[in-house]
Amino acid sequence: MDPLKEWWIEEKAKKAIEKLIAHDFKASYVKSKAGAAEEIQKYITLGQSIGVGGSLTIRELGILEQLESRGHTVYNHWKPGHSKEEILQIRKAQMTSDIFLSSTNAVTLNGELVNIDGIGNRVNASVFGPGKVILVAGYNKIVEDIPEAIRRIKNVSAPLNARRLNIDVPCAKVGKCVDCNSPNRICRAIVIHERRPSLTDMLIILVGEELGF
């Protein structure tokens, strides 16, 4: 990566991390997705169960295969072969796992986390339940404030995810939010972490690479 861009990314991440720490989150910066995987491994001990939210970012790290090979129970509802009933049970199990891994749709420079879910298992687990929550986000998800975060999620993350999953919603066709009332709508619950939930141990890892949507 160009040194100037690398400097710019790191400075932006540092500003967000400073505010996150001030808001009672644990937060750190790594330069690469390999570094993020290594950082996550520091917090996982033998025998712990791992919940995984709907996150391209976590899957891009390649860490789930490593954890499974070490004998961890990984609650991964994206893994092929599960029935609808099994997927529902896996989603519920994520919320009481020892470690919950996911991303966040946006991190503001004011130290807030913004997420929009269609089902809610990911945002639920990020608020209360797991023993520890680790959220990983590429620098592309750092935004100025909450309004920008919501605009970005609805006009970037949601259309791309809907199209990736072949969900029949207007944003997957036009590439931007139209505030639909479709039965397939994936933007149904907005959760904003202004501070760390008081009984939840949370670590935010910002990465100097573009990850996820």
Q: What is the pLDDT of residues 114-124, one digit of tens each?
A: 999 999 999 99
* CATH code of the domain containing 154: 3.40.50.10420
In this structure, is residue 212 part of a structural domain?
no
Q: What is the pLDDT of residues 41-69, one digit of tens each?
A: 999 999 999 999 999 999 999 999 999 99
The pLDDT value recorded for residue 191 is: 98
The two three-digit tokens of residue 181, written as one number: 């009332």
In this structure, is residue 134 part of a structural domain?
yes
Please state the separation of Cα 46 from the chain's center in Å.
23
Total tally of structural domains belonging to the chain: 1
The pLDDT value recorded for residue 120 is: 96
The pLDDT value recorded for residue 1 is: 84
Helix (H) or strand (E) holding 171: helix 171-174
* Full domain range(s) for residue 189: 3-207
Weakly modelled stretches of the chain, pLDDT under 50: none
In this structure, is residue 148 part of a structural domain?
yes
Please state the separation of Cα 90 from the chain's center in Å.
17
In this structure, is residue 213 part of a structural domain?
no
In this structure, is residue 158 part of a structural domain?
yes
CA angle (121, 135, 39) in 5-degree steps: 140
CA atoms within 13 A on the CB side of 120: 5
The pLDDT value recorded for residue 72 is: 97
